[in-house]
Amino acid sequence: MERRDKTRQIIYTAVFAALIFAATYAVKIPTFTGGYVHPGDAVLILGACLLGPLPGALAGALGSALTDLAGGYLVYVPGTLVIKGAMGLCCGAILRLSPRRGGWAAAVGAVAAEALMVAGYFAYEAVCLGLGMGAAASVPANMGQGLFGAAAGVALYLALRKLPAPLLRQ
């Protein structure tokens, strides 16, 4: 990859991290568990599909973890960094490895990424935060967020993937 392409990739990764932060921080729908549901996952899925696995992982990890930091959810910052990074990596890798980068591959990648999110937060809350089976209370809200994030992220990808832009070169 030439220097100009690397610079462009860094810029796009930073832009997507900022978009993920904004979508997560600005729109919060409170849940009964004290957390919140947000559209940030849709932007994360879109970024992973457009940018690929590593930039998608970086954008997802940084944008989401910075939201927890800015929002006062400090105990979630390490878990979010790992979980959202894994989501971007998973979704981007599945799409990248697919022979055809169409809607089905994006949908499979998005669903796999969101399943990682639900399982990841359950494990983080149960083990790392010591909530035990109380962590199961957040599963329904995380599943709802995951369904919305996957559907909206794939829809955005399908709408934007045909645009003639350097961003879409993978």
Do the domain assignments include residue 159? Answer: yes
Positions of E strands within the chain: 29-30, 36-37
Do the domain assignments include residue 96? Answer: yes
Do the domain assignments include residue 169? Answer: no
Q: Which CATH number is 45's domain given? A: 1.10.1760.20
Structural domains counted in the chain: 1
User: Is the separation of the CB atoms in 88 and 120 below 8 Å?
Assistant: no
Do the domain assignments include residue 170? Answer: no
For residue range 20-79, list pLDDT tens digits in order: 999 999 998 888 877 788 999 999 999 999 999 999 999 999 999 999 999 999 999 999
Do the domain assignments include residue 51? Answer: yes
Do the domain assignments include residue 10? Answer: yes
Q: Which among 84, 76, 88, 91 is positioned nearest to 135, based on CA atoms?
A: 76
Q: Is a pLDDT exceeding 50 seen at residue 170?
A: no
3-state SS, residue 141: helix
Do the domain assignments include residue 86? Answer: yes
